[in-house]
A and B are shown apart, each in its own frame.
Chain A
């Protein structure tokens, strides 16, 4: 049953983070990017990121555009609002191979997925659900108050370069 909800909406742009102390519906669109949705089961609040590349290489601003920066920052923001790693669960989405047909083990999508799995594992955060890889973009809505994520695949035309 899909909840009818009075929560405010937030559209999450690439390279940004959102942590909702109050319940929000956070929407984002993913191609090869990844969104990590973290939820604190005890305090019942969540946060989400949207990163474009796996690792910060030192030349540009160390922003949440990069998976390693973004995941650490998201966890720190959640901790800032009282979350404990032991109460956090993760759901990860995105990481599609966008630009050519066929499997691309070293494409950006695949590398984005592997950095999420690796870092969450290192932080000891369980990945509860995931929908990653493939060749289609995804649209997700994360309810920061319940941890639920609703997802649909995008038609090819819907995914614009803006939301990779």
Chain B
């Protein structure tokens, strides 16, 4: 059979059918591909939403069991009469606190990384905030054999700032000083307000830092002694967090360190203004905000 056996009409009909078939076939393929793309896009959006929820979920999922562990370990330590059991309780408490401290920093670093730090102004008593952070670090302080000397008046030291962020800053400044102090050394902590600004100064008598290495300590995931044989634990996040949060609160840090003579980290932050509260309902008064403003 060759082409001459078909009339022109039959050939045209055959071509029409084939063309129609392939077009339909291709169209079907495209539609299927588009559906797959839509599916994929939907999944991506869900994943993105999931990622946003991830942070708060992780915080709860980790914090809840950790809080229970901390509570249980503290209860064993306080109630146990058997010295061996008491020792186990102590050890559990120390390990759980260590885990809690590391988790707090990891979660904070993730929040900084995702732009999710939204400071909120509240009135904080800096003195009791510092005392609570010393109390939190007590197991670490005791095992390092270090003394913390809070050189402050007994009166409350009120200051308007974000309590959670200031707490994280103080905790890391203190933990860092304890970590790098030799046994039986003194860590001197001082806090005061001057010209409306809060000053906190933490002074250790550790090994000090050579001038050329002084900027490294604020880098993230960096410690002065690195590698498998490093003498200090942690991920190198503490001072990076202190530096980022201080800057977010509009303040700055000053490092004063002399090799073999200790390190002083001094912080200065301005108060957060109440009108900069990040979220609130200003309801129908908003037109005041726009006075003298030009629209873009």
A interface residue numbers (CB < 8 A to B): 2-17, 25, 27, 49, 52, 59-65, 70, 73, 76-77, 79-82, 91, 93, 129-131, 139-141, 148-152, 160-163
Tell me which residues across on chain B come within 8 A of A161, comparing CB atoms.
250, 270
Q: For B270, list chain A residues within 8 Å (CB).
A: 160-162
Q: Measured between alpha carbons, how far is A85 from B61 in the docked complex, in Å? A: 35
Q: Does B290 contact A (CB under 8 A)?
A: yes
Is A27 a contact of B109 with CB atoms below 8 Å? no
Interface contact A6-B115, CB-CB below 8 Å: no
B290, A141: Cβ atoms closer than 8 Å: yes
Q: How far is the CA of A131 from the CA of B296 in the complex (A)?
A: 8
With A131-B296, A152-B293: A64-B115 Cβ-Cβ less than 8 Å = yes
B277: CB under 8 A from chain A? yes
A-B contact pairs, 17 of them (CB 8 A): A4-B284, A6-B283, A9-B281, A9-B282, A17-B116, A25-B286, A25-B289, A49-B115, A61-B241, A65-B244, A70-B115, A77-B48, A79-B44, A129-B296, A140-B296, A150-B294, A161-B270
- Tell me, in angstroms, the Cα distance from A59 to B113 when the chains sit together: 13
Produce 1/0 per residue, B259-296, CB < 8 A to A. Answer: 00000000000100001111111111011011011111
A140 to B292, CA, bound (A): 11
Within 8 A of A (CB), among B93-124: 109, 112-119
With A16-B117, A16-B118 already in contact, the answer to whether A6 and B296 are too (CB < 8 A) is no
- CB <8 Å contact, A60 and B219: yes
Q: Is the CB of B286 within 8 A of A13?
A: no
**What CA separation (Å) do A13 and B116 show in the bound complex?**
10
Look across to chain A and name the residue whose beta carbon is closest to the beta carbon of B220. A61
Q: Are B109 and A150 in contact (CB under 8 A)?
A: no
Pick the contact of B281 from A8, A12, A49 — CB < 8 Å?
A8
Extra pairs beyond A8-B282, A60-B220, A63-B244 (5, CB < 8 Å): A11-B275, A61-B220, A79-B45, A93-B296, A161-B250
